[in-house]
Amino acid sequence: MSLKPIFTRTPGLKTTPTSYCPGCGHGVAHRLMAEAIVELGARGRTIAVAPVGCAVYGYDYWNFDTTEAAHGRTPAVATAIKRVLPDRMVISYQGDGDLASIGLAEIMHAANRGERITVIFINNTNYGMTGGQMAPTTLAGQITTTTPYGRNVDETGHPLKIAELLAALPGVKYSARGALHKPGLIRKAKSYILNALKIQEANLGFSIVELLSSCPANWGLTPVKAVEHLEKVMTPVFPLGVFKDETPGQEG
């Protein structure tokens, strides 16, 4: 009796073993992005841009062209590539410290201009690579290396809700938030990525998919407990769903 494979690695990924921490969602996000690009027949014309942070390792895993940007400047680099090479599929892959703090001006203005790029935004509520410091997405009361007594919103403000914030801008044609901790939600997240890329394919404007991801190492939790935290604590603050959708064939 011969066995038939039920899952194969997408050609959008290399065979490189992962270097991410156990329970980290970056690897899942990489796979979803790579699968979507391959399914759209865009691997040979895709250019991804990764910044400083855990996201920087993308070029070790993606089997398509990737370049690096300075911390927070990923949308600016992606904008330049797309304007010079408008036939390319250009993706800015960013973490929350990069996008929502250091690069907040870049993402806001790129979105407001309606740049024809797609952003994949990983939200794990902290600066992952540099030691787990507070990020703009850090939850109220969350303990980080720079908020040892928990984030005090009276002092540092409330968590930024990027998907909702950008959806209000006219240049943004697609904005959604998914999560990476359950099989059904992972499949839904992939559909969000596909829709965001279709916006770019149709040359309509800016698109973004925010993905909630666990960070067990910096949260001080086991991978299993981190999934529970994402489900019970993060998603009430960052609700899942589509906040704006102007994909071809959809109502505005």
Q: Per the domain annotation, does 18 fall within a domain?
A: no
pLDDT of residue 252: 44
In 3D space, the residue among 223, 251, 38, 243 whose CA is nearest the CA of residue 121 turns out to be: 243
Q: Per the domain annotation, does 4 fall within a domain?
A: no
Q: Per the domain annotation, does 176 fall within a domain?
A: yes
Q: Which pLDDT tens digit goes with each residue over 80-95?
A: 999 999 999 999 999 9
Ordered mean pLDDT values, 10 residues apiece, the chain (252 residues):
82 92 94 97 96 87 95 95 98 94 95 98 91 92 94 96 98 98 96 97 97 95 95 97 88 47
Q: Which pLDDT tens digit goes with each residue over 51-62?
A: 888 888 889 999
DSSP collapsed to 3 states, 45-100: HEEEEECCCHHHHHHHHECCEEEECCCCCHHHHHHHHHHHCCCCEEEEEEEHHHHH
Phi, psi of 237 (to 5 degrees): -85, -40
pLDDT of residue 132: 83
Which pair of tokens denotes residue 104?
């907040």
Q: Round to whole Å and give the CA distance between 222 and 54.
A: 19
Report yes or no: 9 and 16 within 8 Å, Cβ to Cβ.
no
Number of domains in the chain: 1
Q: Per the domain annotation, does 16 fall within a domain?
A: no
Q: Per the domain annotation, does 154 fall within a domain?
A: yes
CATH number at residue 197: 3.40.50.970
Q: Per the domain annotation, does 170 fall within a domain?
A: yes
Tell me the Cα Rg of the chain: 17
Q: Per the domain annotation, does 8 fall within a domain?
A: no
pLDDT of residue 250: 61
Phi, psi of 66 (to 5 degrees): -140, 140
Task: Look up the pTM and report it.
Answer: 0.95
User: DSSP alpha helices (H): ranges in the chain?
Assistant: 26-39, 58-61, 74-84, 96-97, 104-113, 153-156, 162-167, 183-201, 216-219, 223-229, 235-237
Q: Per the domain annotation, does 7 fall within a domain?
A: no
Domain span at 110: 26-245
